[in-house]
Amino acid sequence: MKFLVRGGKKLSGEIDVMGAKNSVLKAMAASVLFDGVVNITNVPLIEDVFRMRELLSDIGAEVREEKRKLSISTDKLRGDTLKKSVSERLRASIVLAGPILARQGKVFFPYPGGCVIGKRPIDVFLDGWRAMGAHIKETSEGFEIKAKKLRGTDYFFRVVSVTGTETLIMTAALAEGKTVLRNAALEPEVSALADFLNRAGVKIRGAGTPTIEIDGTGGRLLKATEPFRVMPDRIEAGSFLILGAVLGKGIRINHCNPEHIMALISALHDAGVEVKIGEDWVETKKPDRFSPVNIKTREYPGFPTDLQAPFAVLLTQAQGESIIFESIFEGRLGYVEELKRMGAKIVPCDPHRVIIAGPTELQGREIETPDLRAGLAFVIAALLAKGKSVIGNVYQIDRGYERIDERLRKLGADIERIE
């Protein structure tokens, strides 16, 4: 599928933020730790959720879907091998390995796939499991991990990892004794997962700080006392805020948590964009002119790497030179050549830095989506550009943004899905 976009239209109106992709996937994986049914609400209907559901079903979980609610039972769990064809398309598949290992005592997972944005080393997962007593064998197909009994450990993350932190929290939940995770990720999705597990019988302290302590249950499965409500997707909220700043006559983004995107709001303010902030909404419109801004991506609460590509589109309209320093992934600037083909003046300095000069008028082109976040940046660029654009490989966009074409049309965008 492709998107056909005719650019140049100003947008206005309101748009709702869906549940967070990076939160719902971890809640789905955590269902393996439970005895009985786990209910998850405010579920975004995106491709990554469908793929995680497929992985769970393949190992014997019963997954029922009703509107935006998932009910997952793993009482008849039978498998310990993650389906290769799905895992290779879903980077988050690795987070399932921890709960399966904790419950079954063994797991086999293929090399995980997902976006092509540079190396995402999995040694933080493997080293953590080894420290907890697991034995790991690497094969040509993936990793075979076994553990007679997982033990609590004191583990330091050499590199801050959100999925690593979340996966080791889930693994430690059923382990024997106390686990201490140091240099842990601070993202709000980590705190949401920890809160859910705490309510189910695990004792977790320090989530949202660099040091997290987990008192495991020693193998006893958890009991869900209430549904897991998926938090608002802060990356989607930020993406829409950038869209409103570039093209909006006045766009209000509802059902979000402004505190989760303060780094972006601060950068927009420096660029000359006014953002109105409410309790669960933000609102913005295009200013008369944009000022250049230098940004460096960082782990939360710094500027999100997932918003770097959309913000680059905004910087093509700024009066002067801006610098983007991508410090998380060395391949995340791969979209730059496509923006240059649209007329953007971007000079790569090295694999982590680019200089963007503006303002420049973008021209519609046929472009291919390399990854999820760059895909949304291309949508914004195409809506901003003069003329017609065709965006290919929209599966990548559908992985994280639900029915984005339909939702943007309600704001006045000229975008349609074509074969």
Q: What is the pTM of this model?
A: 0.95
Instruction: Indicate whether 195 and 131 sit together in one domain.
Output: yes
Instruction: Indicate whether 261 and 177 sit together in one domain.
Output: no
Instruction: Indicate whether 78 and 155 sit together in one domain.
Output: yes
pLDDT of the residue at 410: 98
Handedness of CA 165, 223, 400, 60 (dihedral sign): positive
Instruction: Indicate whether 187 and 212 sit together in one domain.
Output: yes
Specify the 3-state DSSP secondary structure of 38.
Answer: strand
Instruction: Indicate whether 256 and 314 sit together in one domain.
Output: yes
Q: Of 213, 229, 245, which closes a domain?
A: 229
Interstrand relation of 69-73 and 37-41 (parallel, antiparallel or unpaired): antiparallel
Q: Of 181, 205, 229, which closes a domain?
A: 229
Instruction: Indicate whether 244 and 214 sit together in one domain.
Output: no
Show the tokens assigned to 197: 């597990």
Number of domains comprising the chain:
2
**CATH at residue 100:** 3.65.10.10
Instruction: Indicate whether 45 and 108 sit together in one domain.
Output: yes
- How far is 47 from 40, CA to CA, in rounded Å? 17
pLDDT of the residue at 113: 58
349 is catalytic: no
| Residue 293, φ and ψ in degrees, nearest 5 | -140, 140
Instruction: Indicate whether 239 and 178 sit together in one domain.
Output: no
Instruction: Indicate whether 398 and 281 sit together in one domain.
Output: yes
34 contacts 222 by C-beta, under 8 angstroms: yes
Interstrand relation of 320-325 and 295-296 (parallel, antiparallel or unpaired): parallel
- How far is 363 from 81, CA to CA, in rounded Å? 47
The single residue of 95, 115, 328, 397 carrying the catalytic annotation is 115
pLDDT of the residue at 122: 85
Q: Would you give the end-to-end CA distance of the chain in angstroms?
A: 5
C-alpha closest to that of 3 among 390, 411, 294: 390
pLDDT of the residue at 293: 98
Instruction: Indicate whether 124 and 246 sit together in one domain.
Output: no
C-alpha closest to that of 359 among 316, 324, 321, 322: 316
- How far is 327 from 314, CA to CA, in rounded Å? 19
| Residue 204, φ and ψ in degrees, nearest 5 | -120, 130
Q: What is the CA radius of gyration of the chain?
A: 21
Q: Of 229, 253, 280, which closes a domain?
A: 229
pLDDT of the residue at 329: 84
C-alpha closest to that of 31 among 7, 57, 13, 12: 57
pLDDT of the residue at 114: 45
- How far is 59 from 354, CA to CA, in rounded Å? 44
Instruction: Indicate whether 42 and 112 sit together in one domain.
Output: yes
Q: Give the domain extent around 202.
A: 21-229
Show the tokens assigned to 337: 């050549």
Residue 31 DSSP class? G
Instruction: Indicate whether 221 and 251 sit together in one domain.
Output: no
pLDDT of the residue at 121: 66
Cα 300 from chain centre:
12
Tens digits of pLDDT across the chain (419 residues): 999 999 999 999 999 999 999 999 999 999 999 999 999 999 999 999 999 999 999 999 999 999 899 999 999 998 899 999 999 888 889 999 999 999 999 999 987 754 443 444 688 999 999 999 999 999 888 899 999 999 999 999 999 999 999 999 999 999 999 999 999 999 999 999 999 999 999 999 999 999 999 999 999 999 998 999 999 999 999 999 999 999 999 999 999 999 999 999 999 999 999 999 999 999 999 999 999 999 999 999 999 999 999 999 999 999 999 999 999 987 889 999 999 999 999 999 999 999 999 999 999 999 999 999 999 999 999 999 999 999 999 999 999 999 999 999 999 999 999 98
194 contacts 169 by C-beta, under 8 angstroms: yes
